Structure 1
Amino acid sequence: MIIYLVGMACVGKTTIGRMLAERLGYTFIDLDEEVMKHYQKSIERLQSEHLTMYGFREKAGVVLDHLLSKNIDCVIAGTPAGLKFAYNKVFKRHKKDKELYSLYLYDTCENVLGRLTFYDVDSNPIEEPMSPAKRLRYLRDVKADFNYFKSSYDRADVQVSIENIPLSDIPEKICNILVEQHVLPAGV
């Protein structure tokens, strides 16, 4: 079975995905990491090679297609556009053939703002001091991103709110919801 996590940037797909994979005994895969490994370039450098994000997403969709072709139980941390554009085409094609479930993780925009991380052009983490004016600007950006991708999040098989839930409790909550939805067997 493959569980494909989608949601806003910095909602926690990678952190929670790792924890969920460990809880289930599955392999964890980060789509961004696999895209960078496949093309031997950082995400920002790959994006800069295309006139539009659509071209980049088509290229990244090739990697998602390869990952979904594997016959391993895994949790894949996707992108904010995880069920939109080229990613959705790939996902729908593979969903016909295998146990593949999309799971939308969501939280408030204010909570996501508190988890924002910043990277240089080579995908190295950098510090970004946050003045009140910057916080307000980034909050507007987070809300705009959410509104842009919301229709694709509605396509997810399962939706899980992580608002105000301790990080350590989230994998168990997800497993309980997946059992309730008959995605996972009882007792997992």
Structure 2
Amino acid sequence: MSSLLQGVNLYLIGMMGVGKTTVGPLLAKHLGYGFLDLDGVIAKATDKSINQLFAEEGEAGFRQIESDVLSQVCAFTKLTIATGGGIVLRRENWGYLHHGLIVWLDVPVELIYRRLAEDTTRPLLQDADLKGKLRSLLEQRTPLYSQADLHITVQEGETPEDIANRIIEVIPNVLKPQASH
């Protein structure tokens, strides 16, 4: 598999709470890749939590920082990168993402809701109607997420290992082997 990927990064996209940060390290291990959580890199680089950045910079300011960090991260190879749910909102980010293989983890809203119902660390979810907010965000982002190279629909009860294995199984379907000379 690694020879087929030839060091190309894997970018995991999808709504918050779909499991990108959980599945990512499993994929990375299987591929012999490193793993980065983009939000973690942003927090470390700025010495601020994502919540702090949203509060101080606003969403637009955060998205600019996110794009700047993504532009630097995409220069590396052999990485599996869990992105933030809104990474797809800026056109410039697609230029960076397309340097790698983009995998959309698609999870039903009901399941995301159950996963995030008690999570107070997500700045975009500080809303009285959490389920409505999730539906709205997903509706807005689905056309963007659907531009991914791979679309993995996650089912209730699937383990992170199951999901990682499914991704590994379908990667060859979207990669063309290099012609040998």
TM bucket (normalised to shorter chain) is 0.7 to 0.9
Structure 1 residue runs of 5 or longer lacking an equivalent are 124-133
Structure 1 residue 94: Cα displacement: 6.4
- Distance, in Å, in 2 between the alignment partners of 1:91 and 1:184 is 23
- Distance, in Å, in 1 between the alignment partners of 2:138 and 2:148 is 15
| Residue 14 of structure 1 pairs with residue 48 of structure 2 | no
Query: 2:88 is paired with a residue of what secondary structure?
Result: coil
Q: Could you tell me whether the CA contact under 8 Å between 2:16 and 2:84 is conserved in 1?
A: yes
| Residue 147 of structure 1 pairs with residue 139 of structure 2 | yes
Q: State the match for 1:163 in structure 2.
A: 155
2:166 to 153, 173, 177: 173
Structure 2 residue runs of 5 or longer lacking an equivalent are 1-7
Deviations 1:51-106 (A, max 9, x none): x4122101221111111112x20100001112221xx41341563xx4x1111101
Q: State the match for 2:3 in structure 1.
A: none
Q: Could you tell me whether the CA contact under 8 Å between 1:106 and 1:162 is conserved in 2?
A: yes
Q: State the match for 2:81 in structure 1.
A: 76
Judged with a 3 Å threshold, the aligned counterparts in structure 2 of structure 1 residues 82 and 22 are, in CA distance, closer, same or farther, namely: same
Judged with a 3 Å threshold, the aligned counterparts in structure 2 of structure 1 residues 62 and 113 are, in CA distance, closer, same or farther, namely: same
Question: What TM-score do the two structures reach when normalised by structure 2?
Answer: 0.82
- Distance, in Å, in 2 between the alignment partners of 1:184 and 1:178 is 11
Judged with a 3 Å threshold, the aligned counterparts in structure 2 of structure 1 residues 113 and 45 are, in CA distance, closer, same or farther, namely: same
Q: Could you tell me whether the CA contact under 8 Å between 2:10 and 2:101 is conserved in 1?
A: yes
1:28 to 29, 35, 42: 35
Q: Could you tell me whether the CA contact under 8 Å between 1:4 and 1:76 is conserved in 2?
A: yes
Structure 1 residue 177: Cα displacement: 1.1
1:101-112 pair list within 5 angstroms? 101-112=101-112
More helix by share: 2
Question: What TM-score do the two structures reach when normalised by structure 1?
Answer: 0.79
Q: Percent identity?
A: 25
Deviations 1:94-146 (A, max 9, x none): 63xx4x1111101111111121152459x9xxxxxxxxxx7xx3222211111
Aligned residues: 165
Q: Could you tell me whether the CA contact under 8 Å between 1:81 and 1:152 is conserved in 2?
A: no
Q: RMSD in angstroms over aligned alpha carbons?
A: 2.3
Q: Could you tell me whether the CA contact under 8 Å between 1:83 and 1:155 is conserved in 2?
A: no
